[in-house]
Amino acid sequence: MNQKKILISLVVLLIIAGSIGMWLWKRDTLLPDVIRIASGSKGGEYYIFGDALGKKLRSKTRRSVENRETAGTLENLRLLKEGAVELALLTQATVFPELDNEGANKISVIAPLYLEPVVVLARQKSGITSVYDLENRRVCTGPEESGTKKTSDDLLKFYGLKKVTRVPEFFHDSSNHSYRNSCDAGIIVMGVRGPCFKEIGKTDMRVLELPYAHIMAESEAFLTEFTLPEGVFTRHPSPTLPHKNIQTVAYTALLAVRKDASSVFVNKVLDTVYHTDLRTSFPDFLPLKVAGTWLEIPLDQTAREYYNPLRRMEVFATRMEAFAAVKELFFAFLAISYFFWLRLNELRKKEGRRQESLMKEELDSFLQETIALDRKQMQSESPEELRSIIDQVTEVKIKALEELTNEKLQSGQMFSTLLMQCHHIVCKIQNKIALIVH
């Protein structure tokens, strides 16, 4: 019975371990039913990229994909941390501080996409020719939850510009908002192929150089020096914009997921980014090899394996070693359990033999007691005394049945002899009493 219980317990443990393993495997391989992408404002580069990525993902995963319009990267980051979206486009400046705080446990960067230079534009008629001329002027710094807003604040702080009137709108906003028309200048963070720059090139704009750009880049871990090539926005026959190479700084646009995203989902997204024709629409994409060596922000574990197949093999080997160690530990546990079961079984048998020996001695004493009572009845002629002997024999029988509980002993010959002897003594005494009375 005890052996059966132990076997049942081991089977239950195996079933539980298998169930946990299957749950972990399924959790790691599931794709979301709906893939939601937090991108940016309509007309902006993030929104256009999110739309293009969504179409490719829809085709590759057979899932519904939603491209959500947002104010910018700060809202994207918030939505991602809250679990309201599965993918978010972020500016490096918004992610870097998060990785040093509570956000490190919630978000994972899976791909550096392209460089986003910081471009300061001023209207030709405004008379602004230097970044220092922004003081006491109206400057579009981006909506509150946009990465542009944070970048603008950092830039104005770096140059000590405290009296700038900050207008919370995108400078490239295509709406007829009064803010847009009243801004003397604007700060934009976008890839050089961004749609707004095509429109800017058709207007009376001047690109301002950022003095001490190298110092600004060195002061922030997530900034890099960047040169805007002459004529990158417009060339002949329009006026060249910029009219010369402009020194500035740039962030990196990032694609991020939640920390609990499955490895299959991450791999599907990366396959879509790097192994479809998506890159033809965004020629400034960082190539796969460059992304694999990008070290500015720690990438997601699955992403690191994707970029480095050798590392994937190393991780696989490590996991196999861990599995082998767990397997050995499990079999060691089974061996130890079996050893303890054998030991307990041996002790139990030893105790059983000891108890059986004690009961045999007690049975022998009961037999001797019945023999003594048999002799006593042979010498007695008194009905009262004989009846007393019957009671004593009955008492011996009851005690034997109560105290000698060992099944093997009760089924043995000695126990049967005791019961038969008690029965014969009682019968003899009853016959003897009948003869004496008559």
Question: What CATH number is given to the structural domain containing 231?
Answer: 3.40.190.10
Q: What's the CA gap between 285 and 411, in Å, rounded? A: 89
Q: How confident is the model at residue 162 (pLDDT cuts 50, 70, 90)?
A: very high
In a domain, 17, yes or no: no
Q: In this structure, are residues 79 and 71 in contact, taking their beta carbons and an 8 Å threshold?
A: no
- What is the average pLDDT across 264-275? 91
Is the domain of 229 the same as that of 284? yes
Is the domain of 151 the same as that of 286? yes
pTM (2 d.p.): 0.62
pLDDT for the residue numbered 28: 46
Q: In this structure, are residues 271 and 308 in contact, taking their beta carbons and an 8 Å threshold?
A: no
Strands 64-68 and 34-38: parallel
174 against 156, higher pLDDT: 156
Tokens standing for residue 50: 């999110």
pLDDT for the residue numbered 18: 61
Which of 307, 338, 367 is at the close of a domain?
A: 307
In a domain, 423, yes or no: yes
- What is the average pLDDT across 158-182? 73
Q: Alpha carbon of 45 to those of 56, 186, 253: distances in Å?
A: 17, 17, 10
In a domain, 132, yes or no: yes
In a domain, 5, yes or no: no
In a domain, 316, yes or no: no
In a domain, 3, yes or no: no
Is the domain of 162 the same as that of 127? yes
Which of 307, 335, 354 is at the close of a domain?
A: 307
Is the domain of 271 the same as that of 352? no
Q: What's the CA gap between 77 and 83, in Å, rounded? A: 10
Tokens standing for residue 164: 């700038």
Is the domain of 188 the same as that of 50? yes
Q: How confident is the model at residue 24 (pLDDT cuts 50, 70, 90)?
A: low
Is the domain of 271 the same as that of 359? no
Q: How confident is the model at residue 208 (pLDDT cuts 50, 70, 90)?
A: very high
Is the domain of 116 the same as that of 169? yes
Is the domain of 98 the same as that of 219? yes
Is the domain of 301 the same as that of 255? yes
Which of 246, 275, 307 is at the close of a domain?
A: 307
Tally of structural domains, the chain: 2
Is the domain of 266 the same as that of 125? yes
pLDDT for the residue numbered 293: 81
In a domain, 21, yes or no: no
| 91: containing domain | 31-307
Is the domain of 239 the same as that of 91? yes
Is the domain of 296 the same as that of 341? no
Q: How confident is the model at residue 159 (pLDDT cuts 50, 70, 90)?
A: very high
Q: What's the CA gap between 437 and 282, in Å, rounded? A: 126
Polymer length in residues for the chain = 438
Highest-pLDDT range among 98-107, 297-306, 314-323, 399-408 = 297-306
Highest-pLDDT range among 239-243, 268-272, 278-282, 384-388 = 268-272
pLDDT for the residue numbered 269: 93
In a domain, 365, yes or no: yes
